[in-house]
Structure 1
Amino acid sequence: MVFLFWVLVMFVLVGWVQGLGVNWGTMATHPLSPDIVVQMLKDNGITKVKLFDAEEHTMKALANTGIQVMVGIPNDQLQMIATSTKDAANWVETNVTEFNLDGSVDIRFVAVGNEPFLESYNGTFIQYTFPALQNIQNALNKAGLSNIKATVPLNADVYEGVVPSEGQFRTDINDLMIQICQFLASNGAPFTVNIYPFLSLYSNENFPVDFAFFDGTGQPLIDGNVQYTNVFDAALDTLFWALKKSGFPNLPVLVGEVGWPTDGDKHGNINFAQRFNQGLLKNIMSGLGTPMRFKAAETYLFSLVDEDAKSIAPGNFERHWGIFQYDGTPKYALDLSGQAQNKALVSAKGVKYLPRRWCVINLSASSTALTQLSDSITYACTHGDCTSLGYGSSCNSLNYQGNASYAFNAYYQANNQQNGDCVFSGLAVVTQTDPSQGACKFEIQIAVSATSKAMNSCIYSLISVAGVAAVVLLSFL
Structure 2
Amino acid sequence: MASLGRGRKLGNLLLAPLPSETVVSGLLRPNNVTSVKLFDADAAVLDSLAGSGISVMVGIPNDMLALLNSSKAAAASWVHDNVTRYFPGGGVRIEYIAVGDEPFLLSHGNRFEPFIVGAVVNIQLALATAKLADRVKVVVPCSSDVYQSNSSLPSSAHFRSDLNRTMSLLLSFLSKHQSPFVLDIDPLLSLQQSANLSIDYFLFRSSGRHLTDGPIRYTNFFDSTVDSVVTSLTKAGFADMDIIIGRVGWPTDGSPNATSNTAQIFMLGLAAHLKSKIGTPLRPMRAIEQIYIFSLLDEDERDISEENYARHFGVFTVDGQAKYGVDLGQGTKKLANARDVDYLSPRWCVANDNKDLSNVSASALSACADADCTALSSGGSCSGIGWPVNVSYAFNSYYQQHDQDADSCDFDGLGLITTVDPSVGDCMFSIALRDSSSISLPGLPALLWSALASVLVFAW
Q: TM-score by structure 1 length?
A: 0.88
Structure 2 equivalent of residue 160 of structure 1: 148
Structure 1 equivalent of residue 177 of structure 2: 187
Structure 2 equivalent of residue 58 of structure 1: 45
- Report 1:407-418 matches (<5 A): 407-418=394-405
Structure 2 equivalent of residue 176 of structure 1: 166
1:18 shift after superposition: 9.3
CA distance in 2, matches of 1:397, 1:75: 38
Q: Does the CA contact (< 8 Å) of 2:436 and 2:446 recur in 1?
A: no
SS of the counterpart of 2:83?
Answer: helix
Residues 1:325 and 2:317 are matched in the alignment: yes
Q: Does the CA contact (< 8 Å) of 2:218 and 2:224 recur in 1?
A: yes
Deviates most, 433-442 or 393-402: 393-402
Letter in 2 for 1:357: R
CA distance in 2, matches of 1:167, 1:357: 54
Letter in 2 for 1:190: P
CA distance in 2, matches of 1:226, 1:278: 24
Identify the structure with the greater helix proportion: 1
Query: In 2 relative to 1, CA 18–141 (structure 1 residues): closer, same or farther, beyond 3 Å?
Result: farther
Query: In 2 relative to 1, CA 47–199 (structure 1 residues): closer, same or farther, beyond 3 Å?
Result: same
CA distance in 1, matches of 2:329, 2:270: 11
1:349 shift after superposition: 2.1
Q: Does the CA contact (< 8 Å) of 2:197 and 2:209 recur in 1?
A: no
Structure 2 equivalent of residue 454 of structure 1: 445
Structure 1 equivalent of residue 327 of structure 2: 335
Structure 2 equivalent of residue 82 of structure 1: 69
Q: Does the CA contact (< 8 Å) of 2:5 and 2:330 recur in 1?
A: no
Q: Does the CA contact (< 8 Å) of 1:67 and 1:106 recur in 2?
A: yes
Query: In 2 relative to 1, CA 100–32 (structure 1 residues): closer, same or farther, beyond 3 Å?
Result: farther
CA distance in 1, matches of 2:311, 2:432: 15
CA distance in 2, matches of 1:203, 1:95: 39
1:251 shift after superposition: 1.2
1:218 shift after superposition: 4.4
Cα offsets for 1:284-318 (capped at 9, x unmatched): 22222212222221100011110000000121100
Query: In 2 relative to 1, CA 391–218 (structure 1 residues): closer, same or farther, beyond 3 Å?
Result: closer
1:69 shift after superposition: 0.2
Q: TM-score by structure 2 length?
A: 0.91
Unaligned runs of 5+ in 1: 1-12, 460-477
Deviates most, 204-213 or 166-175: 204-213
Q: Does the CA contact (< 8 Å) of 1:359 and 1:431 recur in 2?
A: yes
Structure 2 equivalent of residue 148 of structure 1: 136
Which 4+ stretches in 1 moved above 4 angstroms?
Answer: none
SS of the counterpart of 2:178?
Answer: coil
Q: Does the CA contact (< 8 Å) of 2:296 and 2:314 recur in 1?
A: yes
CA distance in 1, matches of 2:299, 2:185: 20
Q: Does the CA contact (< 8 Å) of 1:281 and 1:336 recur in 2?
A: no
Query: In 2 relative to 1, CA 338–196 (structure 1 residues): closer, same or farther, beyond 3 Å?
Result: farther
Q: Does the CA contact (< 8 Å) of 2:59 and 2:97 recur in 1?
A: yes
1:224 shift after superposition: 2.3
CA distance in 2, matches of 1:101, 1:448: 34
CA distance in 2, matches of 1:190, 1:34: 30
Q: Does the CA contact (< 8 Å) of 2:19 and 2:446 recur in 1?
A: no
Q: CA RMSD in A?
A: 2.0
Structure 1 equivalent of residue 23 of structure 2: 37
- Report 1:393-432 matches (<5 A): 393-432=380-419
CA distance in 2, matches of 1:74, 1:420: 36
CA distance in 1, matches of 2:116, 2:446: 26
Structure 1 equivalent of residue 458 of structure 2: none
Residues 1:271 and 2:261 are matched in the alignment: yes
- Report 1:291-306 matches (<5 A): 291-293=281-283, 294-297=285-288, 298-306=290-298
Letter in 2 for 1:83: S
1:127 shift after superposition: 0.4
SS of the counterpart of 1:424?
Answer: coil
1:242 shift after superposition: 1.2
Letter in 1 for 2:22: I
CA distance in 2, matches of 1:126, 1:82: 11
Q: Does the CA contact (< 8 Å) of 1:282 and 1:338 recur in 2?
A: no
CA distance in 2, matches of 1:274, 1:111: 28
SS of the counterpart of 1:376?
Answer: helix
Query: In 2 relative to 1, CA 19–384 (structure 1 residues): closer, same or farther, beyond 3 Å?
Result: closer
Structure 2 equivalent of residue 6 of structure 1: none
Query: In 2 relative to 1, CA 376–258 (structure 1 residues): closer, same or farther, beyond 3 Å?
Result: same
1:167 shift after superposition: 2.3
Q: Does the CA contact (< 8 Å) of 1:332 and 1:344 recur in 2?
A: no
1:206 shift after superposition: 4.0
CA distance in 2, matches of 1:18, 1:265: 24
1:268 shift after superposition: 0.8
Deviates most, 442-451 or 125-134: 442-451
Q: Does the CA contact (< 8 Å) of 2:247 and 2:294 recur in 1?
A: yes
SS of the counterpart of 1:98?
Answer: helix
1:375 shift after superposition: 2.3
Residues 1:203 and 2:193 are matched in the alignment: yes
Residues 1:25 and 2:11 are matched in the alignment: yes
Letter in 2 for 1:36: T
1:371 shift after superposition: 5.5
Structure 1 equivalent of residue 301 of structure 2: 309
Query: Identity over the aligned pairs, expressed in percent?
Result: 41
Q: Does the CA contact (< 8 Å) of 2:155 and 2:231 recur in 1?
A: yes
1:267 shift after superposition: 1.4
1:282 shift after superposition: 1.5
SS of the counterpart of 2:69?
Answer: helix
CA distance in 2, matches of 1:118, 1:272: 26
Deviates most, 62-71 or 349-358: 349-358
Q: Does the CA contact (< 8 Å) of 2:3 and 2:327 recur in 1?
A: no
CA distance in 1, matches of 2:192, 2:262: 13
Structure scoring higher RCO (CA < 8 A, sep ≥ 6) equals 2
